[in-house]
Amino acid sequence: MRHDSSCNRLWTWQKIYFGFFAGILAAAIGFFWNPTPLARALWAIFIACALIHAALAYGPRRASILFAMCSAIAFTMENLGTATGFPFGSYHFEVGADLPHIGRVPLIIGPLWFGAGYFSWTVASILLDGADRQLDRPFNLIALPVVAAFVMTQLDLARLIRERAPERLASVV
């Protein structure tokens, strides 16, 4: 009987955590590229949640290494993109224009990439039934990063739809 009670309590905490997690992701999608004070507070919460979850799930050392790697890759790719247009075409950053930069990229971009990438990895792992804990299986080793990439792409897709839907609807009406 005690086992059932502890399982129910765990399930309740998992639902609470999932609700919080879903809320953070929804807020991140809604305000990700918006340079308001509210958005900046949400960025900080988003990044802190990703760091805390990563430290709890994989240990502080691995979480720190992942954060450093994600940030370095983000700054490298974003500086390459803003300087040359490769691989996604010409663009610039409106977000964090008043913040310190590394090259042409605002300092906040690396940590935001970490948060978005880490949460995408976590969602992919959930969709694949805990694949991050079973990377010794060849399917998980391939499927997890592929699904995570699709999840992360959805953040940009949701942003584009949100930004462009009003003008598309206005041109139809």
State the distance between the two ends of the chain, measured CA to CA, in whole angstroms.
Answer: 61
**pLDDT the model gives residue 172:** 46
pLDDT digits over 42-65, tens only?
Answer: 888 889 989 998 998 899 999 999
Residue 107 CA from chain centroid, whole number: 16
Residue with more model confidence, 55 or 8: 55
Q: What are 13-22's contacts with CB under 8 Å, separation 24+?
A: 21/49, 21/119, 21/122
pTM exceeding the 0.85 threshold for the entire prediction: no
Alpha helix stretches (DSSP H) within the chain: 2-31, 37-58, 60-84, 109-127, 138-172
pLDDT, mean of residues 101-126: 90
CB-CB contact of 118 with 70 (8 Å): yes
Question: What DSSP string runs through 92-119?
Answer: ---TTTTS-EETTEETTHHHHHHHHHHH
What is the model's pLDDT at position 155? 73
Q: Locate tokens 């075409």: which residue? A: 89
pLDDT band (50, 70, 90) for residue 173? very low
